[in-house]
Amino acid sequence: MNLNYKIKNEKIVIFGHKGLIGSALLKEFKLRGYKQILTVSKKKLDLLNLKKVNNFFKKNKPKLVVLAAARVGGIYANNTYPFNFLYENMIIQNNLITCAIKYSCKRFIFLGSSCIYPKFWKKPFKENDLNLSNLEKTNESYAIAKISGLKLCENYNRQFNNQLPNFITIIPPNLFGPNDNYDDKNSHVLAALMKKFFFAKQKNLKKVEIWGSGNPKREFLYSEDAAKIISDLVELPLKKIHKYTKGNFSHINIGPGVDYKIRTLVKIIKKISNYNGKIFYNKKYPDGVKRKLLDVSLLKKISPESFDKNLTKKKNFEQKIKMIYEKLETKTFKKNKKNYSLNLSI
């Protein structure tokens, strides 16, 4: 991409650099020749502790901040631990956004989620389709937290920055790729399915149980493809983004713009894994939202070169799943026990 925004030599920090999208962004920034990339593990910096976060910003004074760290999980985790998903995400966002403002950060990239959009919607979600009264109950707390972060960024631009989108939110669909979470109760659908079929094949199981009916449709984006799009948006001049958002909002949908039934996903992974057993759809488990498809027409206007038409092709999607599946091994699924005790760091 032809860089208009000269940020390669600025100091950059990625929070959540070991996760799915954070690690992809770290790789992409390095490939693009970014000179000063900072990372910090959650063991060394508790993002829930404002004093520690403030000290980090005071010492390092980054000019670009990427917030890819969050309390995340699938339907089970969201539904079982709603307090953690609301409280922890809001505190992390508030701490990082306020410190970024305090220490004169030039750009702030907040990773949102497609769950911010309404539960019932016939058309693909556009950026102005936010509706707080109609959120999916199973991940309502996570959605409210993400909307809160989105609105903090949006209102900072509106109140203090002449509406220029220095602080923007990126809304991706379901992401998958290296460093995904394969926890039985906390993973997202694609990672969960790959793990199920991996062990079903390895243990020669007669059937694989799929939670829900398999009828909901989901949109997917490979994490390294998402990182390329996000990096392109980071490098765009603010005025080009403002030309299309006009200060009315500061979030941008990214994705291929196509979705697939969970049943289709199951067939793809079953074929890739060479599993020959039966499939059982357990309808006792909730489906969640029936469909979550993002309208990416704004992305195509703002940064047309960022939209790769190959992303819309099913064959490309299948190849990316196969690439990840073939790298799986037993140690990939090492237990990473989540702590859901009450954390009130101050």
Give residue-wise pLDDT tens across range 130-174.
877 788 888 899 999 999 999 999 999 999 877 778 999 999 999
| Residue given tokens 């009828």 in the structure block | 215
How far apart CA 214 and CA 216 sit, in angstroms, is 6
Query: What does pTM read for this prediction?
Result: 0.92
3-state secondary structure of 224: helix
Other CB atoms within a 10 A radius of the CB of residue 4 amount to 11
**Confidence (pLDDT) at 113:** 94
Of the listed ranges 103-112, 293-302, 327-336, the least confidently predicted one is 327-336
Which residue did the predictor score with more confidence, 278 or 1?
278
pLDDT at 338: 64
Of the ranges 73-77, 215-219, 287-291, the best mean pLDDT one: 215-219
Residues labelled catalytic: 142
In the chain, % of residues over pLDDT 70: 95
pLDDT at 42 over 60: yes
Pairing of strands 251-253, 167-171: parallel
pLDDT surpassing 90 at residue 344: no
Q: What is the pLDDT of residue 2?
A: 42
Residue that wins the pLDDT comparison between 38 and 292: 38
Given this model, what pLDDT does residue 91 score? 97
Domain chopping of the chain, boundaries: 11-177+219-258+293-313
Would you place residue 340 in the very low, low, confident or very high pLDDT band (cuts 50, 70, 90)? low
DSSP state at residue 174: E
Question: How high is the pLDDT of residue 1?
Answer: 42
User: What's the fold here for domain 11-177+219-258+293-313?
Assistant: Rossmann fold (3.40.50)
The predicted-structure confidence for 178-218, as pLDDT tens digits, reads as follows: 999 888 777 888 999 999 999 999 999 999 999 899 999 99
**DSSP for 49-103, written as a single string:** -HHHHHHHHHHH--SEEEE-------HHHHHH-HHHHHHHHHHHHHHHHHHHHHT
